[in-house]
A and B are shown apart, each in its own frame.
Chain A
């Protein structure tokens, strides 16, 4: 069964600090892995998209890594801001591009 596990479930950090979110998956075959940011009450917004051949992708202060051998990905947020408070969702698409979603990591950034 295809699964995507994210950790931690929730995280509280101080403004200006860095943090790393984890995503482990068992989806096979693998097509792509995406990280989304979802603010409360809004739809998810894409941060990064990686295919099998890519092992790192950056979008401003967000950097995602992918290790296709160990089926792990991480999202690193640098110099966090209050606006980074949101849920971060890892999505892995397999054959036929059907997506499997992680439960998300809820990040709270305190001033």
Chain B
């Protein structure tokens, strides 16, 4: 069965810290995505990647960066965490636009 694995289910960090969220997929998918999910706002795209070392900004990239050194791994980096980045973060992958996305279980991040 296909699998997208996010390294942490729950994470608590302090303001100003550099935070790494890791995502690994085992489906050899070209496309990978990072979203944040907040009540009433649905899913908002932070960054996506359509190939190794390629990345594109989504709707809300400010305060975030990403890294994709290997096809299966897509990392989200909070350069200097702030309290307004407290949220649920979801990673997803897909083979193509006519194929559904596969999601990880999410990381609930709290910035104190």
Tell me whether A and B are bound partners.
no
List residues of A whose CB falls within 8 A of some B CB.
none
List residues of B whose CB falls within 8 A of some A CB.
none
